[in-house]
Amino acid sequence: MKKILILNTGGTISMSEDQRTGKVAPTDSNPIGAGGNIFSYIGDLHVEDLYHLASPQITQNEMLGIKNRINKAVQEGYDGVVVTHGTDTLEETAYYLELTLDVNIPIVITGAMRSSNEIGADGLANLRSSLVVATDDESIDKGVLVVMNDEVHTATYVTKTHTTNVATFQTPTFGPIGLVSKNNVIYFQKLIKEEHYNVSTTEKRVYLLKAYAGMDGELIDAVVELGVDGLVIEALGAGNLPPKTVPAIRNCIEKNIPVVFVSRAFNGVTQDVYDYEGGGKRFQQDGVIFTTGLSGQKARIKLMILLEAGIPFDRLRELF
């Protein structure tokens, strides 16, 4: 039997609903810790409560802690790790781990949209699917995986698409890389690019702004005044902004503050297409970095990690 570590960090998957008020909150005992025993036939399971945090309470400090614990688990001889996590920031933790872990054992992140005692609770089902993935030989060297609703997604591109639906986690443009079927996982895609960076600190400040019609440079200037290390903007379309933002963006570049553009559109990639004031072509010429399919929150995680790893300003573009 494969030896699997289940790391609980909190979230809805570890909470219960008050039957009288309908409020969902943590309880004294983690229902996943108790329910996980029913899956002992899948592997040699070891459960550890690393944190007891709702996902909005997770910061890069906890992400670094999860990364360090997984590295220790590899040294301890575990064959795979399953992390239970709140869904609101699950994709960010998953991508952080994807970029900072350089291990070949399966690393699976999962959660739940319904607490343990709600009708249609999905926590145990997602945990079971995650354990099936973590113990499957085909999951080795697949990078960090997010398993929800019997689908397997890469940490790089998966995102939460619905506030309450159990099928909330989707991969826009590309789709899932695999499906969990009964007692095995079927893969039909693979993430073709993997990258890993060695980080041990969480000191860099990277902000995320979303573009809108009529936006000017005031928010960008304010972020610079705060002492920002990097800036990610969810730009319009394929990578455009209102013209009044141009001086503020140029000021960032002149101060060696990297500016990364993603699109606020749900699907597609950014491209330096339009050659007009505020168009992507001119921003690219000014030194703005364009991404390929990353969301704003993922691009922020990546830029933060690159800066923590000491990557020089002139190399950031090629790494995005």
Kindly write down the DSSP assignment for every residue of 127-194, as one continuous string: HHHHHHHHT-GGGTTS-EEEEETTEEEETTT-EE--SS-TT-EE-TTT--SEEEETTEEEE-------
Can you give the pLDDT at residue 7? 97
Check whether 245 is labelled as a binding-site residue: no
pLDDT at 15 over 80: no
Can you give the pLDDT at residue 117? 79
Let me know whether 147 and 221 are in one domain.
Answer: no
pLDDT at 25 over 70: no
Can you give the pLDDT at residue 302? 98
Identify whether 135 is a catalytic site residue.
Answer: no
Can you tell me the distance from the alpha carbon of 195 to that of 293, in angstroms, rounded to the nearest whole number? 16
Average pLDDT, the chain: 92
Does residue 201 form part of some domain?
A: no
Let me know whether 235 and 267 are in one domain.
Answer: yes
pLDDT at 26 over 80: no
Can you give the pLDDT at residue 23? 61
pLDDT at 19 over 60: no
Query: Which of these three, 187, 215, 248, is where a domain ends?
Result: 187
Let me know whether 169 and 229 are in one domain.
Answer: no
Of 12, 93, 135, 156, which residue is the catalytic one? 12
Residue range of the domain that includes 223: 206-317
> Taking Cα atoms as reference points, which of 157, 198, 149 lies closest to residue 175?
157
pLDDT at 309 over 70: yes
Q: pLDDT > 90: what percent of the chain? A: 82
Let me know whether 245 and 179 are in one domain.
Answer: no
Q: What is the mean pLDDT of residues 186-203?
A: 92
> Is residue 36 very low, low, confident or very high in pLDDT (cuts 50, 70, 90)?
low
pLDDT at 60 over 70: yes
Q: What is the mean pLDDT of residues 177-201?
A: 92
Can you give the pLDDT at residue 24? 67
> Is residue 267 very low, low, confident or very high in pLDDT (cuts 50, 70, 90)?
confident
Does residue 273 form part of some domain?
A: yes
> Taking Cα atoms as reference points, which of 219, 249, 31 lies closest to residue 121?
31
Let me know whether 97 and 53 are in one domain.
Answer: yes
> Is residue 29 very low, low, confident or very high in pLDDT (cuts 50, 70, 90)?
low
Let me know whether 169 and 310 are in one domain.
Answer: no
Does residue 199 form part of some domain?
A: no
Query: Which of these three, 131, 154, 187, is where a domain ends?
Result: 187
Let me know whether 172 and 223 are in one domain.
Answer: no
CATH number at residue 276: 3.40.50.40
CATH number at residue 150: 3.40.50.1170
Can you give the pLDDT at residue 12? 81
Let me know whether 213 and 180 are in one domain.
Answer: no
Instruction: Tally the domains of the chain.
Output: 2
Can you give the pLDDT at residue 13? 81
Can you give the pLDDT at residue 194? 87
Does residue 283 form part of some domain?
A: yes
Does residue 196 form part of some domain?
A: no
Q: What is the mean pLDDT of residues 245-273?
A: 94
Identify whether 87 is a catalytic site residue.
Answer: yes
> Is residue 115 very low, low, confident or very high in pLDDT (cuts 50, 70, 90)?
confident
Does residue 195 form part of some domain?
A: no
> What's the angle, vertex CA 272, arms to CA 266 and CA 275, rounded to 5?
120
pLDDT at 295 over 90: yes
Query: Which of these three, 127, 160, 187, is where a domain ends?
Result: 187
Let me know whether 176 and 250 are in one domain.
Answer: no
Check whether 87 is labelled as a binding-site residue: yes
pLDDT at 16 over 80: no
Of 9, 84, 87, 154, which residue is the catalytic one? 87
Can you give the pLDDT at residue 28? 57
Does residue 194 form part of some domain?
A: no
Does residue 197 form part of some domain?
A: no
Q: What is the mean pLDDT of residues 140-152?
A: 97
pLDDT at 33 over 80: no
Let me know whether 241 and 151 are in one domain.
Answer: no
Let me know whether 24 and 132 are in one domain.
Answer: yes
Check whether 88 is labelled as a binding-site residue: yes
Kindly write down the DSSP assignment for every residue of the chain, as one continuous string: --EEEEEE--SGGGEEE-TTT--EEE-SS-HHHHHGGGGTTTSEEEEEE-----GGG--HHHHHHHHHHHHHHHHTT-SEEEEE--SSSHHHHHHHHHHH----S-EEEE--SS-TTSTT--HHHHHHHHHHHHT-GGGTTS-EEEEETTEEEETTT-EE--SS-TT-EE-TTT--SEEEETTEEEE------------------EEEEE--TT--SHHHHHHHHTT-SEEEEEEBTTTB--GGGHHHHHHHHHTT--EEEEESSSSS-------STT-HHHHHHHT-EE-SS--HHHHHHHHHHHHHTT--GGGHHHH-
State pLDDT tens for residues 70-103: 999 999 999 999 999 999 999 999 999 999 999 9
Let me know whether 219 and 295 are in one domain.
Answer: yes
> Does residue 101 contact residue 49 with C-beta atoms inside 8 Å?
no
